[in-house]
């Protein structure tokens, strides 16, 4: 068994004000710890991974699909993006949004990561 506390997860800034860290990676799925700072945008993108997650703290506006439907995700909300569905998020609040995401199959760095 692996045991990783979120306090021990090293976060990397992958876009302005958007941070991702690896919690755990297995053969079939990976778990990410994420933080989106106030005013930051996670770029709209798509991938072959199915993605499910949970908002631990804060509020995000998810941008979903080709028609850019907006869905507000608040603390305690779970979400799922099927494989191949365009999605992104914006933090329009004054507080950081923090959560966990699980990708299957596992993913390392996102292909939309901005060079740092």
Domains (range + CATH), the chain = 6-104 (2.60.120.10)
Q: What is the DSSP string of the chain?
A: -----GGGPPPEEEETTEEEEEEEE-SS-EEEEEEE-TT-EEEEE--SSEEEEEEEESEEEEEETTTTEEEEEETT-EEEE-TT--EEEE--SSS-EEEEEEEES--SS-TTPPP-
Give me the tens of pLDDT residue by residue for the chain, a chain 116 residues long: 888 998 999 999 999 999 999 999 999 999 999 999 999 999 998 889 999 999 999 999 999 987 779 999 999 999 999 999 999 999 999 999 999 999 999 977 776 666 66
Rounded to two decimals, what is the model's pTM?
0.90
- pLDDT of the residue at 113: 67
């Amino acid at each position: 068994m692996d045991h990783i506390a979120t306090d021990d997860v090293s976060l990397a800034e992958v876009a302005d004000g958007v941070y991702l860290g690896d919690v755990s990676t297995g053969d079939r799925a990976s778990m990410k710890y994420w933080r989106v700072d106030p005013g930051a945008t996670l770029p709209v993108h798509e991938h072959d991974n199915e993605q499910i997650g949970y908002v631990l703290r804060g509020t995000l506006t998810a941008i979903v699909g080709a028609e850019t439907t907006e869905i507000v995700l608040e603390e305690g909300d779970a979400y799922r993006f099927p494989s191949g569905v365009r999605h992104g998020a914006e933090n329009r609040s004054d507080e950081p949004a923090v959560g966990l995401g699980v990708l299957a199959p596992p993913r390392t760095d996102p292909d939309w990561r901005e060079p740092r």
